[in-house]
């Protein structure tokens, strides 16, 4: 079958976006992987699928597939691209929309300056939300209840665990450029204390309103930016008394802005959403 798609990115985190309202899109894991493959397919970190809503009061349903074919709960950079896509394609005439995901409802808003701001919902910090197996660990590091000692590469690293719908383990490093992302990212992603795996964040605190961040993403490897990773890092930094909202997040692919007013309130993610090209691809039946 011929599949129409749009290639997009948000701060270098790149996506294939598919209108599944006007196309039949029910692919196997292998087909998702082939589409995302940078040599045998189109190439992307994630594939974003636009569907009709199943929840009252929502405008769309938003499904997310990592490049390894795994379907996941949330994608922050993708939410901005999603909002730009449905507007540009005339699927919505509203500047603000409500979108249901596997884990909750998000609300992207198209801004006058071309950026997109997303209400990503409230973070969850209890280990069971990720899930994270904290059995036998003494998590109260520096008086926080989000930071836990994790055995990685024969050493103990202290990670803050935050769920933005999807799971994040964020550590503070002195310099992101020299952080062991490639060496320890895969081990943290697949760590047995994260039964559904985890996104591994490495955050350098520049000042109380600015961090640099790298993320080794679950199911995709290191990406040039990670929206939910930026949310999780700022939440962790604020709770550890290192940051004050709003926070500028410098990723390798661009800048994001995060605002959070504290426990029980939503995290707001702002940043770019760029269309790169439109395309069609012939995809086999298996
Ligand atoms: N790899 C993530 C999904 C994509 C998140 C990221 N691209 C973002 O912008 O939030 C996971 O498996 O939870």
Q: Is the pLDDT of residue 144 over 60?
A: no
Distance CA(243)–CA(33), nearest Å, equals 38
What DSSP string describes 200-227?
EEEEEEEETTEEEEEEEETTTEEES--H
The secondary structure element, H or E, covering residue 104 is strand 104-110
Mark whether 231 is an active-site residue: no
Question: Which residue's alpha carbon is at the smallest distance from atom 11 of ligand 1?
Answer: 218
The answer on whether 218 is annotated among ligand-binding residues is yes
Q: Is the pLDDT of residue 166 over 60?
A: yes
pLDDT at residue 143, rounded to an integer = 47
Per residue in 22-31, pLDDT (tens digit) is 999 999 999 9
Q: What is the ipTM of this complex?
A: 0.99
The secondary structure element, H or E, covering residue 182 is helix 181-189
Per residue in 104-132, pLDDT (tens digit) is 999 999 999 999 999 999 999 999 999 99
Provide mean pLDDT across the span 213-239: 98
Q: Is the pLDDT of residue 39 over 60?
A: yes
Q: Ligand 1: which of 66, 83, 163 to mutate, judged by most atoms within 8 Å of the beta carbon?
A: 66
Task: Decide whether any atom of ligand 1 lies within 6 Å of the 226 Cβ.
Answer: yes
Mark whether 226 is an active-site residue: yes
The answer on whether 166 is annotated among ligand-binding residues is yes
Question: In this predicted model, which residue has the larger pLDDT, 146 or 269?
Answer: 269
pLDDT at residue 286, rounded to an integer = 67
Per residue in 61-100, pLDDT (tens digit) is 999 999 999 999 999 999 999 999 999 999 999 999 999 9
The single residue of 33, 75, 212, 231 carrying the catalytic annotation is 75
Domains of the chain as residue ranges with CATH? 2-121+272-285 (3.10.310.10), 127-265 (3.10.310.10)
Kindly report the average pLDDT of the chain as a whole number.
95
Question: Which residue's alpha carbon is at the smallest distance from atom 12 of ligand 1?
Answer: 218
Task: Decide whether any atom of ligand 1 lies within 6 Å of the 77 Cβ.
Answer: yes
pLDDT band at 140 (very low <50, low <70, confident <90, very high): low
């Amino acid at each position: 079958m011929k599949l129409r798609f749009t290639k997009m990115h948000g701060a270098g985190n790149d996506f294939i976006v598919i209108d599944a309202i006007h196309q039949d899109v029910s692919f196997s894991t292998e087909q998702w992987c082939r589409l995302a493959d940078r040599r045998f397919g189109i190439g992307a970190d994630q594939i974003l699928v636009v569907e009709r809503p199943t929840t009252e009061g929502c405008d769309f349903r938003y499904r997310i597939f990592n490049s390894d074919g795994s379907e996941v709960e949330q994608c922050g950079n993708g939410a901005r691209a999603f909002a730009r896509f449905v507007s540009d394609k005339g699927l919505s005439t509203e500047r603000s929309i409500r979108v249901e995901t596997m884990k909750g409802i998000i609300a992207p808003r198209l801004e006058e300056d071309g950026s997109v701001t997303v209400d990503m919902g409230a973070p969850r910090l209890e280990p069971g939300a990720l899930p994270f197996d904290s059995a036998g660990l003494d998590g109260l590091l520096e008086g926080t209840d989000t930071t836990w000692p994790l055995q990685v590469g024969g050493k103990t690293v202290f990670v803050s665990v935050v769920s933005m719908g999807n799971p994040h383990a964020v550590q503070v490093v002195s310099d992101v450029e020299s952080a062991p992302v490639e060496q320890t990212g895969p081990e943290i992603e697949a760590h047995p204390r994260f039964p559904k795996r985890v996104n591994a964040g490495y955050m350098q605190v520049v000042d109380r309103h600015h961090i640099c961040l790298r993320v080794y993403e679950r199911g995709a490897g290191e990406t040039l930016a990670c929206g939910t990773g930026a949310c999780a890092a700022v939440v962790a930094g604020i709770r550890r008394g290192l940051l004050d909202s709003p926070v500028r997040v410098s990723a390798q692919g661009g800048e994001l802005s995060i605002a959070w007013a504290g426990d029980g309130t939503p995290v707001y993610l702002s940043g770019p959403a760029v269309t790169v090209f439109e395309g069609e691809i012939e995809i086999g039946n298996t």
